[in-house]
Amino acid sequence: MGEELIKTFQIAVAAVLSVLCGAFSMADDGVECPATGPVLHLSVIAGEITNMIEKSGQGPYLRLLREIEAQSNIRFDVTVLSDRRAKRDFLEGMGDVYMIRSNFDEELSPVRVTLDVHGLHAFVRKGEAVPTSLDDLKGKRVGLPYLYSFPKSLMENADINVVKLAESAHANLEALAIGRVDATIVPLAVGEAFLKARPDANLTVDVDHPVLVKEASMVFRPTLTCAAQQVGQVVEDFRRSGKLFTILAENP
């Protein structure tokens, strides 16, 4: 029990820190790269994510690319596809960059820039015990947005009845409100926005205890280490100034 509490506390701390200051990491950063160079055009294959990467060209992650362009000599040519097709195309050698890779997904390239780290929280109906770990979801019917990726520790857990009822987090929260599932796991900000708009839904969450921590990254071809370093430095500058949080907010 003590180890579980420590693990839960560590997850919560990681999520809180990421919300406050963002997160930056990049694999394979030992290569020396020139400080300046000609304009570099990179083709980006982006998987559509509701409210985050839209085929219309809108969304916080696409807004971040435009801000990176303004601070670097890199220009992004973006194609937005269904996430499954985007990932498949990248694996088949198309595009220079894939976004967004989750830490729950398979490895696509060792060269990547982490853009965001955030907690995923379990929402339940008021009056029920609020899960603070995956263990607390055992025996429950848990609704998940089917466009989101989740770890095998959840998806292949024989003790948790996982169902993907709807595409969006909002639709899963609606399903929870009417009793179709016992719990749903969504980003805290999305869930809180839903509760603000629908106080009559009578849902609750433990804001201090995410059940999962998710990372979102841009993945680069292994030959593009220097481009990844440049992007990573801009993202780090945004993180330090607080601009990254503003850019990635759904409604800045």
Residue 228 has pLDDT above 90, yes or no: yes
Q: Residue 200 above 60 pLDDT?
A: yes
Q: Quick one: how far is CA 51 from the chain centroid?
A: 12
| 8 pLDDT above the threshold of 80 | no
Reading the block at residue 160, the tokens are 């948790």
Predicted pLDDT of residue 250: 57
What is the Cα gyration radius of the chain? 19
C-alpha–C-alpha distance, residues 148 and 169, integer Å: 9
How far from 19 is each of 13, 31, 213, CA to CA, in Å? 10, 30, 11
Q: Is it true that 2-117+215-248 and 118-212 share their CATH fold? A: yes
CB 161 within 8 A of CB 142: yes
Q: Write down the domain spans for the chain.
A: 2-117+215-248, 118-212
Helix (H) or strand (E) holding 215: strand 212-220
How far apart (Å, rounded) are the C-alpha atoms in residues 112 and 108?
A: 9
39-75 pLDDT per residue, tens = 999 999 999 887 788 888 889 999 999 999 999 999 9
* Rounded Cα gap, residues 252 and 189, in angstroms: 13
What gap in Å lies between CA 175 and CA 1, rounded to an integer? 32
What does pTM read for this prediction?
A: 0.71
Q: In angstroms, what CA-CA distances link 103 with 66, 118, 251? A: 24, 11, 25
**Looking at the domain that runs over 2-117+215-248, which CATH code has it been given?**
3.40.190.10
Separation of alpha carbons 167 and 164, rounded Å: 8
Least confident of 34-38, 158-162, 163-167, 234-238: 34-38
CATH superfamily of 118-212: Periplasmic binding protein-like II (3.40.190.10)
Distance, in Å, from the CA atom of 250 to the CA atom of 189, rounded to the nearest integer, reads: 9
The CA distance from 115 to 99, in Å, is 10
